[in-house]
Amino acid sequence: MRIARWFIYGFPVLLLLLIGISFWNSSRLATDRKNEMSLGVLGEPSTLNPIQQADSASSQVTSSLFNGLLKYNPDLEIIGDLATSWTLTQTTTFVFRDRPAALAAAAVLESRKSDWEIWSLTRIQSQDNRLLLVMREPGLDTSRDIAALFAADSLAPLATIRVESKANAHEVLPKLHAALPPNSILRAWVESGAACELTADPALKQTISAALDSIGGGNVEIGDPVPFLAEPEVVFTLRNDVRWHDGAAFTSHDAVFTYDAIMDDATASPRKPDFDLILRVEAPTPHTFRVIYRKPYSPALESWMMSILPAHLLEGKPQSWWVANFNRNPVGTGAFKFDAWKTNEFIRVIRNPTYFNAPGPWLDAVVYRFMPDQLTLRLAFETRQVDFWSAEPWTVTTFSKDDRFEVFTSPGSSYTYIGWNLKRPLFQDPKVRRALAHAVDVSSMVRFILYGHGLQSTGIFTPRMWFFDPSLKPFAYDPDKARALLAEAGWMPGPDGILQKDGQRFSFTLITNNGNEIRRDIATLAQDGLKQLGIEVKVELYEWAVFLKSHINKGDFDAMVLGWSLGNSYDQFQIWHSSQTNPEQLNVVGYKNPEADRLLDEIRQEYNREKIISMASNLQRVIFEDQPYLFLYVPEGTSVMWKDAYRIRRHGPNGSWIDSPVEMTKAGWAYWSDWFYRPEFADRLPQ
């Protein structure tokens, strides 16, 4: 009877009590929830020094700590960040055989003054036997048109002379100047510790060689003749209200220091190729920064989105000091400042109260939690330990149908590939690489690994880019064609069924990083597809840091599964130029093609949109047909957020505020993250 009464009266009371406690706990948790965002990061950052980082985990964290001179707006147009404005001009220098020839050329241009607007020419200046033309717009075409107006025999011969010395180039250069006739070197630029580049009369080669021999020896090479020197110039006007996180004022000297640090060989910055064409930088005032280029470089503005470093902390310090004191405890100018780094667990950044774009940010902190794999990251998201998740393809439909979540999807800006180490004899024949492309069923990868949320890649650009060539078609899955190509290349079945050539079995190891299920599945499918052709593939998985530092950066692999997350630039010099194949550089597969090199060099100097599209198409086609990578697919980008977890309060026109849900922009859902706020803390915001 007592048991019956307990079930009739006691159990409902206990249930109500439990519901009450649950409601109280839930309310208390909501009240106690910190005003911070938690983000999951696959792997642990290698460094928080932005000019040395080469992994996505590092860049994700440093983006909240540092600023560049420029940045993109939500529509991917370039706007100021640490710079308020900038001007872009060009000075083209013609060198004549004598002063009368220079004056005659000036008279020709004065007689054509009606064409100055078309040429964007603003003024001309005579300096002895030289004529300097200042133009509003950089580029080579107009200068070539003007050069055609002058008698060819009136121009002095010019060439780029590369000098490789046994002594330090900075010490060698003044001695070369002293050994040569006055003013015979039109321009000099130190490329690295042991090499410099001179622009001078090619007839001086013997004199330069003799001078070099007298000061330790070296090598002299004459480059192609040049009819003129075209030197673009960017002048940035910097903000005067920016302070570093430690309170020191930001000035143009910080920009000069950052450039010098990137170019210093001791820094080993992977960003160096973005700045190789700079002749010099100057800081004429604390808030004016001038950059002069050796030749036209059309991605110049994008390169100055690079984070700027604090000179007052780092200048004069060796790399060992950077590693011990800065790379894990950085000082920037960003909306958040560094707070803590607990190895294998998290990095925490906190609100910067002196941020120049005040009063933001609204959040007190952002915590980047390190996750070993996608499964752990998903569980962390579903248990609300992290607030956003880059959803894996097979989960997109489920989350899209669940009213508890907001789903943000955008066209992919990345691609996944299998990279062949072209320094290995197995992969040096393009016919073999094309055979491998026909042997792997990439369309099935898109269907079964991406669940249709992506498309096959046709090379180094993605369809969202304005210079992408849609006419290029992917290699079809065709095992018979693959067998025929391999046979043409001399690979025949051996006694154990594995292909052989000259006594070598077609056997290699395919590596990727542990914890990435998609890359593991790619490796397995590739292994199965190639096995059908008589190719033996061993798959090995490595922890991310080991995979990157011990294998990829050192070029110690046969083949690997990786991906590139691209920006919006057509400049692929760092990834594909033959000069970028050294350890720690980004052309890790060792790709070398003279035609690709030519296109990579020329596209950087082109400003005309239609010509860029044509060059990009040719570059995409050359590399795709070479197949240094087996280009796999471009995935869709999909991120998931708990519904109403955040909103955006950002500046509007005339001092107003715009309040909106988190929204997708061309620059991604996180573009306004400095202005995210939790609705439960809305009372802190300006109304």
In a domain, 319, yes or no: no
Identify whether residues 424 and 539 lie together within a single domain: yes
Identify whether residues 407 and 512 lie together within a single domain: no
Supply the mean pLDDT for the chain.
90
Q: Which residues contact 230 (CB under 8 A, 6 or more apart)?
A: 90, 91, 92, 138, 139, 140, 143, 295, 296
Identify whether residues 526 and 616 lie together within a single domain: yes
Identify whether residues 525 and 604 lie together within a single domain: yes
The amino acid that residue 262 corresponds to is I
Q: How many domains does the chain have?
A: 2
In this structure, are strands 365-371 and 36-42 parallel, antiparallel, or unpaired? parallel
Global pTM reads 0.81
What confidence category does residue 33 fall into, taking pLDDT thresholds of 50, 70 and 90?
low
E-strand ranges in 424-558 read: 454-456, 492-493, 499-501, 504-505, 507-513, 536-542
Identify whether residues 491 and 589 lie together within a single domain: yes
Identify whether residues 655 and 615 lie together within a single domain: no
In a domain, 167, yes or no: no
In a domain, 209, yes or no: no
pLDDT number for residue 642: 92
Identify whether residues 552 and 604 lie together within a single domain: yes
Q: What angle do CA 474, 480, 483 make, to 5 degrees?
A: 100
Backbone φ/ψ region at 191: left (φ over 0), alpha (ψ -120 to 50), beta: alpha
In a domain, 552, yes or no: yes
User: 602, 617, 635 — which closes off a domain?
Assistant: 635
Tens digits of residue pLDDT in 186-205: 888 887 677 888 898 888 88
Q: Which residues contact 296 (CB under 8 A, 6 or more apart)?
A: 90, 138, 139, 140, 230, 232, 604, 605, 606, 607
Name the more confident of 124 and 8: 124
* Percent residues over pLDDT 90 in the chain: 66
In a domain, 89, yes or no: no
Identify whether residues 387 and 449 lie together within a single domain: no
Do 259 and 309 touch, CB atoms closer than 8 A? no
CB atoms within 10 A of CB 203: 11
Tens digits of residue pLDDT in 205-237: 888 888 888 887 888 888 888 889 999 999 999
Report how far residue 475's alpha carbon sits from residue 624's, in angstroms, rounded to the nearest whole number: 9
Identify whether residues 370 and 485 lie together within a single domain: no
In a domain, 616, yes or no: yes
Do 238 and 82 touch, CB atoms closer than 8 A? yes
In a domain, 309, yes or no: no
User: 599, 616, 635 — which closes off a domain?
Assistant: 635
In a domain, 104, yes or no: no
Identify whether residues 650 and 625 lie together within a single domain: no
Give the tokens for residue 388. Answer: 């956003």
Alpha-carbon distance values, 472 to 418, 469, 528, 618, 631 (Å): 19, 6, 27, 10, 13
Identify whether residues 465 and 490 lie together within a single domain: yes
pLDDT number for residue 25: 38
Q: Does the pLDDT of residue 169 top 50, yes or no? A: yes
User: 635, 653, 670 — which closes off a domain?
Assistant: 635
Partners of 37 in beta bridges = 366
Tens digits of residue pLDDT in 111-160: 999 999 999 999 999 999 999 999 999 999 999 999 999 998 999 999 98
Q: Which CATH number do you get for residue 669?
A: 3.40.190.10
* 28-42, 339-353, 420-434, range with the lowest pLDDT: 28-42
Q: What is the mean pLDDT of residues 312-330?
A: 96
pLDDT number for residue 21: 40
Alpha-carbon torsion 498, 521, 563, 554, what sign?
A: negative
Tens digits of residue pLDDT in 38-89: 999 888 999 999 999 978 889 999 999 999 999 999 988 899 999 999 999 9
Identify whether residues 679 and 607 lie together within a single domain: no
* Domain, as residue range, for 602: 414-635
Q: Which CATH number do you get for residue 539?
A: 3.10.105.10
pLDDT number for residue 585: 86
Count CA within 13 A, CB hemisphere, residue 593.
Answer: 24
